[in-house]
Amino acid sequence: MRYLRTREDFFARQLAAIPSEVPSAPEEPFIEVLYKDGSRVTTTVFALSSFLRLRSWIVDLVALDLHVLTNKGHHKGVTNLLEILFGNEAAYYDPPSEWEDDLLRPFQEVGQSHLRIIELVQSLAFDWSDSLTVTPVELEFLSQLNLHSCIRIDVNGCEIVDRTALLSLLAAANRALHAQGRIVTPAHAEQLGAETAYILESCAVENHRREVVYSVATGYESWRRLLDTTLMKCFGRLPMIVGKICFSTSCTFCLS
C-alpha cells in the first residue's frame, strides 16, 4: 500500500478516475442500464458485474488507505482523498493524460455539482432490462424438478443456478421419464423439449438477475465501509474540507 501511495498515488488517482456509468458493451445477450439522470447504456451482465466489482474493490482500498493514513497521522494524504470524495471538482492534481480523458469526462460536465461520495451511491440506483426473454410454458413433465439443488456459489460469491448441475438434473429427469414410459409420442417428445428449453432459459434469466443484484449489493457494502471510515476516522477534518470547497466554488451543501 505504501508503495502504491508514494510511487503512483494509486488510491487517489483511481478514486478520481473511476467512472459513474458502466462501459458500453454491445454484445449478445445484452442488457440496457437506465440511470436516474436518463442516460442509457447498452452493455452485458458480465461487463456490468465486473465493473461494479472492480469499483467496489477501489472503494474498499480507499477506505483502507484512509484508515492507515489517519492512524499514522498522514494528514496531507487524508486531505487529498477527502477533497476528492467531498469536492465538486473531478479532475485530479495533474492534467489528465490521453488515456484518462474518457475516464474523467463523466465528472467534468458543466454544471456537475454532486459530491463524489454521493455519485458513487447514486450510480448504484439504476434500472435495467434484459434482452433475454422467456415464453411461459406449462410444465407437464418437469414440474417436480428440484432446481434449488442446482444452486451454487460462483467464484465471486454470488449464488447462481449452476449450469452443469442443471444439465445433469435435466438429463436424469429425461432418462427417468423415458424409463417410466411417459414419453411415447412425438407430441410428448416435443413437449419435453419445450419444457427443457423453458427451464434452461428461465435459469439463464434468473442468473442474470442474481449477478446484477449481487454486484449492486457489493457496491453498496463497499460504499458503506468507505462512509463509515470517513465519518469515524476523518470526521474532525470534514468541516475544514467542506469549508475549503465552499470558499472555492458553489458547494452542494450550500445549494441545498
**Which residues does residue 129 pair with via DSSP β-bridges, in sequence order?**
32
Looking at residue 123, what DSSP letter applies? Answer: T
* Grid cell listed for 197: 428449453
Amino acid at 229: T
In angstroms, the CA 31 to CA 14 distance is: 27
pTM above 0.85, yes or no: no
Residues with Cβ within 8 Å of 68's Cβ and at least 6 positions away in sequence, in order, are 1
**Could you report the per-residue pLDDT of 125-173, keeping only the tens digit for each?**
999 999 998 999 999 999 999 999 999 999 999 999 999 999 999 999 9
Per-residue confidence in pLDDT tens, the chain, 256 aa = 777 777 778 888 999 999 999 999 988 999 999 999 999 999 999 999 999 999 999 999 999 999 998 988 888 888 889 999 987 654 444 444 444 444 444 444 434 447 899 999 999 999 999 999 899 999 999 999 999 999 999 999 999 999 999 999 999 999 999 999 999 999 999 999 999 999 999 999 999 999 999 999 999 999 999 999 998 988 877 766 655 544 444 444 444 4
In angstroms, the CA 217 to CA 221 distance is: 6
**Could you report the per-residue pLDDT of 188-204, keeping only the tens digit for each?**
999 999 999 999 999 99
In angstroms, the CA 219 to CA 140 distance is: 41
Which DSSP helix (H) or strand (E) runs through 40? Answer: strand 40-43
Contact 67, 233 (CB under 8 A): yes
Would you give the end-to-end CA distance of the chain in angstroms?
Answer: 37
**Angle 169-174-180 from CA coordinates, rounded to 5°:** 125
In angstroms, the CA 33 to CA 130 distance is: 9
In angstroms, the CA 36 to CA 127 distance is: 8
User: What number of other Cβ atoms are within 10 A of residue 71's Cβ?
Assistant: 9
Amino acid at 184: V
